[in-house]
Chains A and B, each alone.
Chain A
Amino acid sequence: MAKTLVFLEHHDGAIQKNALAVLSKAASVGDAHGVVIGSGVRDVAASVNTTVWVADDERVAAPLPQPRVDVIAKLVRDEGYDTVLFGQSVLAADTAAGLAARLDAGLNWGLVDFDGTQGRAPQLQDTVVVEVGWSSPVRIGIFRSGSLDVGELSGANEVKDAAVELEDFSTAAEMLEQAHAEQQGPSIEDADVIVAGGRGLGEPEKFSLAEELASALGGAVAATRAVVDAGWYPYSAQVGQTGKTVSPKLYVALGISGAIQHKVGMQGSNVIVAINKDANAPIFEFSDLGVVGDLHEIVPKLTELVRARKS
């Protein structure tokens, strides 16, 4: 049975869904506690049904990794946790890696599952699944976004104070200006949802179908090499072997055949929905939901329905 500490990353007063999902997973393979670090975050720590350490201090207000390493390392040493888990994010990756070096602990990332002693991680753009283990006394793991579901926790909340003893070098970096919500849609690399258009759209003007759907879903718009070549959309939106590689939670492919050059750029997506009028399009071989039909009829309706749901 693992004794796990889960880093509960939070933003704007709410814990990241992925972190909660990781906590559920940890609870299913042993004892699972959380740690919340920031300033004015006691409420956040009180919102989870398990023991949650809170480091509530001005000095750790900014989302910087190194002070978090200090807090978590002390907890691990003092409380004897043998496993520390994170949900993927820039902050989490930096914190986990710093922690691994601090504790001389093994770090496995890109995990989609964990059984208490071993983890599972797809690698090489999801072409192979690796069972990974740890040979160090403390195990550190980072889970991919969207790989786990948030479950119910059966325990009761208890908030305990964690010491905030920071190394000099941990406080050397300072946050000058923190990110605020972006007005425009997310960039392709960061988007949780991507709606991509291909030749099946028929003409450049029809990219508006992709744009409307992306806007309804809160995502970004991408394009295949073929339509970028034809000048229908800018190269910065190209996904594929010679464009960007993305792995959003949801990838909606409109009128895209699914040639391997495109596939290698998006096959790591969690959920792939494809709409194409050609029943034999290769994309149907690797999509979770394949819809054979006319995207010009389906997409406007779909956009409407999504908008209705969200409101």
Chain B
Amino acid sequence: MSVRPSEFPPPWSPTEATAPPTDPADERIEVGFLIVGAGPAGLAAAIRLGQLMEEDPATAERLGEVPVAVLEKGKAPGSHLLSGAVVNPRGLQRLFKGRRSIDELPFYGPVHGESVLFMTKKRAVRIPTPPTMVNHRNYVASLSRLGKFLADEAESLGVTILPETSAEKLLVDGGRVVGVRTGDRGRGRGGEELGNFEPGSDITARVTILSEGTQGHLTGAALDRFGLRGENPQVWALGVKEVWKVPKPLDQVVHTMGWPLRAGRKFREFGGSFIYPMGDDMVTIGMVIGLDYRDAELSAHDVLQELKTHPRIARILEGGERVQWGAKTIPEGGFVALPKRFHAPGLLLTGDGVGFVNVPALKGIHYAVESGRLAAESAWRTLARGASMREALASYDDAIRASYIWTDLREVRNMRQAFGRGFYMGGALAGAMTATKGRFPPGDSRTERDAEQDIFMGGRARSYPAPDGKLTFDKLSSVFASGNRTRDDQPNHIRVQTKVPRELAVMWEHMCPAQVYEVGAEDGDGTVEVKLAPSNCVQCGAITAKGGRLTPPEGGSGPEYTLT
């Protein structure tokens, strides 16, 4: 009997996230341009707008008292940012052209050398670096730190950043996006208003730019509301990573494939790990696994712990100390899963939210930055005398299609899907694609929703190491290491069915890196109860890919990343 997560959809409808403004007109907060998300895309848009305001103050006047506002649901910019990361500086160089040099950016240095290892349980064999993964001239970065830097830059250009502010609804009036409604603060577990209850506000803007990152809450609602979804659904991978202080510097960027992931086709375990040096005294190590896996007991967090026990890896971490942990999903559908259009009336969509990620190269940050910059340019065009709003926003789509984002993603469009056929077959196909720059195999592959994969009990948990608190860790202490201290007494922000077949509950329990889900009591009819601890949630988004739905909790909740 196979169980499919998609058969148990969450109690949620996208219409919950769109609404007309409800605040009386004089209580609405008016800003010039509104950006949702203080990540690389949102902050790039903010910075570009700030530059344009500086160059043309007369036009900037028309934006009013708060020309550009950026909403960030985390405690501060950077708190919810997590990536590997090896960054292609191209996007940032263009953004800061003539203003700042690459040395002024908080990188951990250029990539000095790299290797790709194929792992088995005991050995690690170096294999030639696939051309898509060559990182020459790229830089190692902490996205969280970079985000903080970009936020400071934006503020110095007159941008207003509003942290601890979640965007709960897209405000749509007369078929046009007019802004965003922020979330309430100060509600209790049962939804009741507590002593310091502060209702959300309607924020209206000329143009709203969504840069929410992976599993963007309003982005998803907008794609549905305006019929923007492409033919292929988006698919995701879950990445879990740690930052370690180490005594011995790592001198190269390392990627691994193979063990602990299983190669067999029935498992659909696509992914690998990365180990990057962060200066001389820190490294970051992470495991990324496609969420179309099928073994209900697969746990990306525990596979990462398992990976660390490999002698080659343990050596890198020896004598070290874990200082941070985190998790986030990555959109992996690539070109074929992009939406039909990236704009709607009053709205522009950027970054990971729409899937601008080059999976084989593991790159998305420079595309996010570039898309943010282009969104800013189009938004600015709406201010030109006699400009047509519609044309100005449509110019964003044209700009995206003319950019390197488009060409890069198109070239590698079939690579990820090939690996759905198992590691070795996938590897062969990937090789062919690279050699022919995407021309072979012809056509476009298709994606299937992660939640459509049947799951089965595969006994994967047997191989996970028992946490020793020094090299390997349990989930709860890892949640602590993410800086998460979410207020407990607030409404549950996770929508899932709580009475499901055992396999599904087991799958959620293992899937979630933060131990939010727990298999509860049997209900006697073949189903079990699912118990939730929502305040553990680090908002990675995995649940949305696998049968549930993450909505933003109270602003300020979630992790407080600084080094991820």
Contact = CB atoms under 8 A, between A and B. Distances in A.
Contacts of B487: 242
A241 B560 CA distance: 14
Contacts of A130: none
A229 B477 contact: no
B453 to A, nearest CB: 31
Contact of B535 (A225, A259, A260): A225
A260 B477 contact: yes
A134 interface: no
A260 B480 contact: yes
A242 B476 contact: no
A226 interface: yes
B489 A241 contact: no
Contact of B533 (A229, A241, A243): A229
A235 B476 contact: no
A242 B477 contact: no
Contacts, number: 29
B495 interface: no
Nearest to A241: B485
B486 interface: yes
Interface in A248-269: 259-261, 264
Contact of A260 (B476, B488, B531, B533): B476
Nearest to B479: A261
B193 to A, nearest CB: 16
Contacts of B480: 241, 260-261, 264
Interface string A251-291: 00000000111001000000000000000000000000000
Contact of A259 (B477, B488, B489): B477
B535 A242 contact: yes
Nearest to A226: B533
A242 B476 CA distance: 14
Tell me which of B486, B489, B531, B533 has the highest count of chain A C-beta atoms within 10 A of its own C-beta: B489
Contacts of A5: none
Interface string A194-238: 000000000000000000000000000000011011100001001
Interface residues of A, number: 14
Nearest to A243: B488
Contacts of A225: 488, 533, 535
Interface residues of B, number: 12
B24 to A, nearest CB: 34
Contact of B489 (A226, A235, A261): A235
Interface in B436-489: 476-477, 479-480, 485-489
A242 B477 CA distance: 14
Given A260-B480, A261-B476, A261-B480, A242 B533 contact: no
Contacts of A241: 480, 485
Contacts of A229: 488, 533, 535
A238 B189 CA distance: 15
Nearest to A259: B476
Contacts of A243: 488
Contacts of B485: 241-242
Nearest to B487: A242
A260 B485 CA distance: 12
B492 to A, nearest CB: 10
Tell me which of B485, B488, B533 has the highest count of chain A C-beta atoms within 10 A of its own C-beta: B488
Contacts of B489: 235
A226 B534 CA distance: 11
A262 B488 CA distance: 13
A185 to B, nearest CB: 23
Nearest to B478: A260
Nearest to B531: A230
Nearest to A228: B488
Contacts of B535: 225, 229, 242
Contacts of B476: 259-261
Tell me which of A226, A229, A230, A235 has the highest count of chain B C-beta atoms within 10 A of its own C-beta: A229
B77 to A, nearest CB: 23
A261 B481 CA distance: 10
Contacts of A260: 476-477, 480
Nearest to B466: A280
Nearest to A262: B476
A237 to B, nearest CB: 12
Nearest to A280: B466
Contacts of B479: 261
Nearest to A230: B531
A241 B487 CA distance: 10
Interface string A149-178: 000000000000000000000000000000
Nearest to A257: B476
Interface in B484-536: 485-489, 531, 533, 535
A261 B474 CA distance: 13
Contacts of B488: 225, 228-229, 235, 238, 242-243
A39 to B, nearest CB: 41
A252 B122 CA distance: 45
A225 B486 CA distance: 12
A230 B531 CA distance: 9
Contacts of A226: 533
Interface string A286-303: 000000000000000000
A225 B487 CA distance: 11
A260 B533 CA distance: 15
Nearest to B533: A229
Nearest to A240: B488
Nearest to A261: B480
Contacts of B477: 259-260
A118 to B, nearest CB: 29
16 contacts: A225-B488, A225-B533, A226-B533, A228-B488, A230-B531, A235-B488, A241-B480, A242-B487, A242-B535, A243-B488, A259-B477, A260-B477, A260-B480, A261-B476, A261-B480, A264-B480
The 8 closest A-B pairs by CB, nearest first: A259-B476, A260-B480, A260-B477, A242-B488, A235-B489, A241-B485, A242-B485, A261-B480
Given A229-B535, A230-B531, A242-B486, 15 more contacts: A225-B488, A225-B535, A229-B533, A235-B488, A235-B489, A241-B480, A242-B485, A242-B488, A243-B488, A259-B476, A259-B477, A260-B476, A261-B476, A261-B479, A261-B480
